Chains A and B, each alone.
Chain A
């Protein structure tokens, strides 16, 4: 049986790729698809050309790699950690996205959104005070 300390370290080590690679993958896919442009021609030849452009786009390939890393980390994490622990803690991505958008990209974040983010951070702080697994004895 894994000790309490090891289980906790493993949980936080796996939460990092879950939190980082999920949103990064979605953003990269979004960037790649925006570069490719809106789909207007649905003929088989045009769709084949579109698929070729999608799967040769470095942004999209990087996005898929990030999402695969996210998926595997998420599955491994759930092999021991409670879903009711992982799910709320991974909501911290809302805060990270808002901070990056505001500090690095100069996006405006409304006071209401900051209030929401403060509640998320408070909620995550509460959840992280509890053991990561209540089914595996740790």
Chain B
């Protein structure tokens, strides 16, 4: 039970953190110039976005819950199971960020998710 709960926290915090950061970057707006001054201005605006810090907080939660789960279970279980976050991340991007993944992209995401699980399991 505690393993399932910790795994749920890992998957939720990974997808939630990345989607929050993605949302913050979309609010900052598309980077069009790669001059150092423009990039520094972009970073300054990004660091002022509340969603950026919410994302960082969730990724920190992800890191520590991953460490906790790794102290209970083998890495060959933990990493493949966390590959589920590829699917939950895409679902969150669809529902919360308004992205429109096509069926080809969904197929690709599923293949990547299964591939990561296979490549990490006992590899």
Q: Footprint of B on A, CB under 8 Å?
A: 2, 72, 75-76, 78-80, 82-85, 87-88, 91, 94, 98, 109-110, 112-113, 115-127, 129-130, 134-136
Partner among B99, B109, B123 whose Cβ is within 8 Å of the Cβ of A113 = B123
Q: State the CA gap A109–B101 with chains docked (Å).
A: 33
Q: Is B68 located at the chain interface by the 8 A CB criterion? A: no
Min CB–CB distance A101 → chain B (angstroms):
10
Instruction: Name the residue on B nearest A98 (C-beta).
Output: B119
Partner among A84, A85, A109, A110 whose Cβ is within 8 Å of the Cβ of B122 = A110
Other than A78-B25, A84-B90, A127-B108, give 20 A-B pairs with Cβ distance below 8 A: A2-B30, A72-B39, A75-B21, A76-B31, A78-B26, A79-B25, A79-B28, A82-B99, A83-B89, A83-B90, A85-B105, A94-B119, A98-B119, A119-B111, A119-B112, A123-B111, A126-B107, A127-B109, A129-B108, A135-B100
Q: Footprint of A on B, CB under 8 Å?
A: 18-19, 21-22, 25-26, 28-32, 39, 42-43, 46, 86, 89-90, 93-94, 97-102, 104-105, 107-123
B116 touches A91 (CB 8 A): yes
B118 touches A83 (CB 8 A): no
Overall SS of chain B's interface: helix
Q: What residues of A have a CB within 8 angstroms of the CB of B19 in the complex?
A: 83
Q: State the CA gap A135–B93 with chains docked (Å).
A: 11
Q: What residues of B have a CB within 8 angstroms of the CB of A78 in the complex?
A: 21-22, 25-26
A127 touches B21 (CB 8 A): no
Q: What residues of A have a CB within 8 angstroms of the CB of B123 in the complex?
A: 109-110, 112-113, 116
* Nearest 4 interchain pairs by C-beta: A116-B119, A126-B108, A123-B111, A116-B118
